[in-house]
Structure 1
Amino acid sequence: MIVVGFGAAGACAALEAAEAGADVLVLDRFDGGGASAVSGGVVYAGGGTDQQRAAGVADTVEDMYAYLELEVGDVVSAETLRAFCAGSADMIRWLERHGVPFEGSLCPVKTSYPNDDHYLYYSGSECSGLFRGVARPAPRGHRAKGRGTSGTVLFGRLAAAARRRGVRVLPRTRALRLVTADGDAVTGVVVATLRDAPRRVRTAHRLLARYATKPGLYVPVLRKALHRRVVALERRYAREVTLSARRGVVLAAGGFVADREMLRRHAPAYRGGLPLGTPADDGSGIRLGTEVGAATAELDRVSAWRFLTPPSAFLGGVLVDAAGRRVIDESRYGAAVGEALITRHGGRGWLLVDAPIVRAARRTARGESQWFQWLQALYLLRRGRVSDRTLAGVARRAGVDPDGLVATVTAHNEAAATGAVDPAGKPAEFVRPLTTPPFSLIDVSIRPNVGYPCPMLTLGGLVVDEGTGQVRDTEDSTIPGLYAAGRSAVGICSRAYVSGLSLADCVFSGRRAGAHSARYSRPELVEKSPQ
């Protein structure tokens, strides 16, 4: 079995197949990890995980399903979503058995990502007004235990477990095209590999790729320059080889957020964000599938993160657009905030806060934050903020319609004073009357901004059979020998994303593809497979 891509989805597919007895070869353009390794290492799980019980959290599979059914819609069938929810506690145990550490230390505040004191938190919109009437809120963000953004821990443990199981990994190898037999079944992969290149070339490729990922992730100009040198090395030294797969090929090569042309074609409104991933998230896995007739879906879906927290004090603010109109319940998950700003408000937004909220934010931001969140909070409280003694005055300074802002804040404050339902549906525990000057408008617009970037990742991909992970063609038949997982495939998070849902889907879909491909065999085609 061949796996293309060695991130979380690829590692889980390889592990599952190896444990079923398959001989597994994993290909990766770089050294493995992909977007999973630079992620926060959060896995969305619930229904009564060991970590939830340790934290005293009551959760059920039914509540988890009801929440996700409303959050993700019908992107997958009800049966698939139920299976995901019912198996999520066992999924965490499976990860733990393979060395991934988790802990039930519950974060006491609502945040976009917890500091290093906490590893279980409300990672979506569970506490927001829209969802409370559907399911009891429960924290389901299970963060792998490790300092900082712990995706490196999650992937590192999975990679080590895969190698212990005998999985072979061929790094610095790029998949060029799939090999088919009889015009349909996938029997192998043509690759360009640096395996036999001089050691100095492989070392240079490894270092350039590493720095293109970080710090290149935060400095797009640096990333592009380093990646050009990576491509130059590949063109000069890579050797083309054809690899045969008797047990199928699993495409787990990530999304396409690093491919500007694909973004321009499928999601043009999302081109101003910070690509969250590596240069290998260039849509190559998706293109490999479409070149042999695979169907795609949800390619227009992009998760754009406009987190308002930390500091948690900002939840008491009111988010408005240029007309002074309310944008959304501010307690919603950052991707929902980002989508609302981009699709309905031209990407422009300001958070209105008053003096008590600013004081609380200054007091609590550092203790609630990772280092990068602290820097962003500093930026928002300093360069990103304008203030005035009156609502009309601060509106004029920010370029917001004064009459619209006054009307919005008046309605908000009246509801807060009388105990009425907030106009945007924000739960009462987060509502604060905005009455104490000076008033501030904090610019949270979505545009290229080093001080306050808007990370984005693509959600759509190849259409797969939800029972097996096999890729479907444009006539809705499965393509023999071809599977897809993670962000190369349509999955549970492909319509709407909350933190941890993509990694959870990588585990879920990766294991599904690995288990089925380990059983797959087309003996009549083996002799026709290129050697």
Structure 2
Amino acid sequence: MASPSASPPASGDGTLPIDAPHYVDGGAMQWHDHCDVLVVGLGAAGAASAIEASDHGADVLICERFDGGGATALSGGVVYAGGGTAYQKAAGYDDTPTAMARYLATEVGDAVRPETLDRFCQESVGLLQWLESLGVPFASEPKPPKTSYPRDGVYLYFSGNEAVPENAAIAAPAPRGHRCRATGMSGAALYQYLRRAVDERPIRVRTQTATRRLVVDQATGRVLGVEVATLPPGSAAARRHQRLSRLAQRLHNVAGGLADRLRVKARRLEDEHADIQHIEARNGVVLTTGGFIFNRDMVAKHAPAYSGNLRLGATGCDGSGIRLGQSVGAQCARLEKVSAWRFINPPSPWPQGLIVNAEGQRFCNEEVYGARLGVRMCEEHGGRAWLIVDRAIRRRAIREALFGKLWAFQSIPALLMMWFAPRARTLAGLARRLKMTTAALEAAAHAMNDAIDQQRDDPMGKSDGMRHALREPPFYALNISADNPTFPCPAITLGGLRIDEGNGQVLNAADDAIPGLFAAGRAAVGLASNGYVSGLSLADCFWSGRRAGRNAATRSEDAAASVEADAIDRKAG
């Protein structure tokens, strides 16, 4: 097998380089392996694509650069589902696909067509049942809470903005966050169920195999397969690559710079020791490599407001699938869209406080979902914000953080911030400490308090149950800015390759399908590409992954011949 040719130097964060397509003339290609459907990446979207393609009779091969799991295994394992799931009904909620679609339209916007959103909601109950058929367990709750992530033992909750008054007026609120039943963060368990389902099928999996470029027919533009750099299984280089990659992931949240250096070393092992192979995909290639939050250059170019946020996800979230599509003329959209998570619940008393920007101006309803708050903070206020609370809120929040059975990642930062927060006996004194405009902070607090006293609606639309007049000194300022190392504001990217929403095929600049190329999950534009609520990305990964895998597997030769003939005619014309 050939050694890899010289490649660009390893980037500072270990980003995988993508080479220009390998164009071939008809059958003039020597393949090292063959399959019907080749899936690039093994997370939620990759597993769903592979399982669906296999269940429709295709010979499926997965190429995964690392061990598998990606961002899915690191997630909370929450699937956004509704329309009348068994768990909603058991909790006493009569949700409908129509109500689900009405609410989601406020989050999804125009990222997908209305009929696509409607179809997703109509198929939501069936999607959850499909996951259950793979062994994934869920559960119901007598009183589903509203929280950033529920404690162990709670598996159904309000994971978005459903109960915020402006949304509740559109559709009856219902809990739609279905967390995989497991101990600890549920994403790892969810991935294990998916991996077991893959292994139970005649699906081949190649790990430590990086897809570096696409192989394309010169005459038709059809994607015929891929070129991969694969580390020899069991070799010393493969073992070291695995150790470095796993350690980088473990260190990422606490020592990001060191983690990046480890990723660079792993990349160099790929450059120096991987074998280059060409794999034919007779029906198509499905790109499911995730977003690009780990690609600093892409973030700086498309979403610079988020360059300082904590990168949330896995090393493979470096835009490699997006860049593979771009290499053959694919069209991208919404690359500027990012979800930044600034959750202030729990502790549950915090949203009763007052959120202001660096000038002291209130800019958001404090009870909204954390991604809505985070995006506004990063894009409109330079990533700077403070949560103002009084002694009463702080006392109740400390009690919940100490004794409320919160996750450590929720309770420890909250306690540290409350213990060391700037404080003052008056709001004017607090504004001076923070170098804010005193009049602005006082005006924001007085407007909120006066609305309570006069029984008027909150100026920002906060619901009655979350309202509290700031009166009991001292007053505290909690730094919820994006760059606070004690209270990180993690971010993921939401945009990607434009696809045909009916079958998952990747589109070029002329809105024509690129023959033989599909995409799913965060490598593609989908339901979560406008805004984000917990569980929607995973649900979209499963839904779009199944769509791409099914259509890649069932692509008829007549349809393929027609597409290729059209491509030849366009070139001739």
TM over 0.5: yes
Match of 2:541 in 1: 506
Moved over 6 A (4+): none
Structure 2 distance, partners of 1:117, 1:126, is 22
Is 1:464 the counterpart of 2:503? The answer is no
C-alpha separation between the residues in 1 aligned to 2:432 and 2:157?
38
Q: Give the aligned residue type for 2:493.
A: T
SS class of match (2:417): helix
Q: 1:485 matched to which residue of 2?
A: 520
1:85 aligned to 2:121? Answer: yes
Kept in 2, the 8 Å contact 1:395–1:441? The answer is no
Whole-angstrom distance in 2 between the partners of 1:195 and 1:49: 45
Distance across 2 between alignment mates of 1:150 and 1:400: 41
Q: Is the 8 A contact 1:463 1:472 kept in 2?
A: yes
Q: Partner of 1:371 in structure 2? A: 408
Q: Give the letter aligned to residue 378 of structure 1.
A: L
Counterpart AA for 1:369: L
Alignment of 1:380 with 2:417, yes or no, is yes
Matching residue's letter, 1:458: T
Q: For residues 28 and 217 of structure 1, what CA distance do their matches in structure 2 show?
A: 23
- Which secondary structure does the structure 2 equivalent of 1:177 belong to? strand
1:370-449 aligned within 5 A: 370-383=407-420, 385-447=421-483, 449=484
SS in structure 1 at match of 2:210: strand
Matched letter for residue 9 of structure 1: A
On the 8 A contact 2:325/2:497 being kept in 1, the answer is yes
What letter matches 2:553 in structure 1? A
Deviation, structure 1 residue 40: 0.7
| Structure-2 separation of matches of 1:175 and 1:521 | 26
1:114, 1:368 within 8 Å by CA — same for their partners in 2? no
Please show how residues 206-221 of structure 1 align to structure 2 within 5 Å: 206-221=242-257
- Where in structure 2 are the equivalents of 1:65-144 lying within 5 Å? 65-105=101-141, 108-144=144-180
Residues of 1 paired with 2:251 and 2:542: CA distance?
27
Alpha-carbon distance, 1:379 to partner: 2.3
Is the 1:107–1:118 contact (alpha carbons within 8 Å) kept by the matching residues of 2? no
Cα distance between partner residues in 2 of 1:247 and 1:214? 37
CA displacement 1:378-397 (0-9 Å, x = unmatched): 222123x1111111111211
Describe the superposition over 1:179-224 as per-residue Cα deviations: whole angstroms up to 9, x where unpaired: 111241111000000135x532222111211121123244211211
In structure 2, the CA distance between the partners of 1:99 and 1:152, relative to structure 1 (3 Å rule), is: same
1:370: Cα distance to partner? 1.1
Deviation at 1:70, TM superposition (A): 1.2
Structure 1 residue 109 displacement after superposition: 3.8
Cα pair 1:106 1:121 within 8 Å, conserved: no
The correspondence for 1:314, drawn from 345, 350, 356, is 350
- Paired residue for 1:194? 231
The 2-side partners of 1:410 and 1:209 are apart by: 52
Amino acid at match of 2:66: F
AA aligned to 2:192 is G
Task: Report deviation, 1:106.
Answer: 5.4
Distance in 2 between the 1:252 and 1:379 partners? 39
* Residues 262 and 119 (structure 1), Cα distance of their counterparts in 2 relative to 1, 3 Å cut: same
CA distance in 2 between counterparts of 1:489 and 1:138 reads 28
Deviations 1:9-45 (A, max 9, x none): 0000000011111110001000100011101111101
Asked if the contact 1:47–1:85 (Cα under 8 Å) also holds between the matched residues in 2, the reply is: yes
- Whole-Å Cα distance in 2 between the matches of residues 466 and 149 of structure 1? 32
After alignment, is 97-106 or 491-500 more displaced? 97-106
- Assess, with a 3 A threshold, how the Cα gap between structure 1 residues 467 and 108 changes in structure 2: closer, same or farther: closer
What whole-Å deviation, never above 9, does each CA across 1:408-445 have from its counterpart, x for those lacking one?
A: 11110011122211001111111111111111111111
Preserved contact between residue 107 and residue 119 of structure 1 (Cα < 8 Å)? no
Q: Distance in 1 between matches of 2:465 and 2:96?
A: 24
How much does 1:63 deviate? 1.2
SS, match of residue 423 in structure 2: strand
Aligned CA-pair RMSD: 1.5
In the TM superposition, 1:491-530 aligns within 5 A as 491-522=526-557
**How far, CA to CA, are the matches of 2:435 and 2:38 in structure 1?**
55
1:226 lines up with 2:262 in the alignment: yes
Aligned mates of 2:382, 2:489 — CA distance in 1: 14
Separation (CA, whole Å) in 2 of partners of 1:124 and 1:456:
16
CA shift digits 1:471-506 (9 cap, x unpaired) = 011100001110000000000000111110100000
Tell whether the 8 Å contact from 1:218 to 1:274 is kept in structure 2 after alignment.
no
1:52-67 correspondence runs (5 A): 52-67=88-103
Distance 1:195 1:286 in 2: 26
Residue correspondence of structure 1 range 18-57 to structure 2 within 5 A: 18-57=54-93
Q: What are structure 1's unaligned runs of at least 5 residues?
A: none
For the residues of structure 1 that align with 2:451 and 2:115, how far apart are their CA atoms?
A: 41
Alpha-carbon distance in structure 1 between the residues aligned to 2:146 and 2:405: 10
Deviation at 1:112, TM superposition (A): 0.6
Aligned partners of 2:144, 2:415: CA distance in 1, in Å?
Answer: 22
| CA distance in structure 2 between the aligned counterparts of 1:136 and 1:328, rounded to whole angstroms | 23
SS in 2 for 1:312: coil
CA distance in structure 2 between the partners assigned to 1:450 and 1:64 by the alignment: 36
Q: Which amino acid in 2 is paired with 1:325?
A: Q
What is the identity, as a one-letter code, of the residue corresponding to 2:241?
Answer: H
Per the TM alignment, residue 110 of structure 1 is displaced from its structure 2 partner at its CA by: 2.2
Contact 2:112 2:526 survives alignment (8 Å)? yes
Residue 180 of structure 1 corresponds to 216
Q: Sequence identity of aligned pairs in percent? A: 48
* Map 1:326-341 → 2, pairs under 5 A: 326-341=362-377
CA contact (8 A) 2:91 2:141 kept: yes
* CA deviation profile, 1:339-389 (whole Å, cap 9, x unmatched): 111122121111111111111101112425212111221222123x11111
Counterparts of 1:108 and 1:49, CA distance in 2 = 14
1:165 to 194, 201, 218: 201
1:380 alignment partner AA? M
Aligned counterpart in structure 2 of residue 255 of structure 1, from 291, 306, 315: 291
Give distance in 1, aligned partners of 2:119 and 2:60. 26
User: 1: distance between equivalents of 2:356 and 2:333?
Assistant: 32
Q: Is the 8 A contact 1:105 1:117 kept in 2?
A: no
TM-superposed deviation, 1:108: 5.0
Contact 1:303 1:496 in 2 (8 A): yes
User: If the length of structure 2 is used for normalisation, what is the TM-score?
Assistant: 0.89
Give the TM-score taking structure 1 as reference length: 0.96
Kindly indicate whether the alpha-carbon contact (under 8 Å) linking 2:289 and 2:522 is maintained by their aligned counterparts in 1.
yes
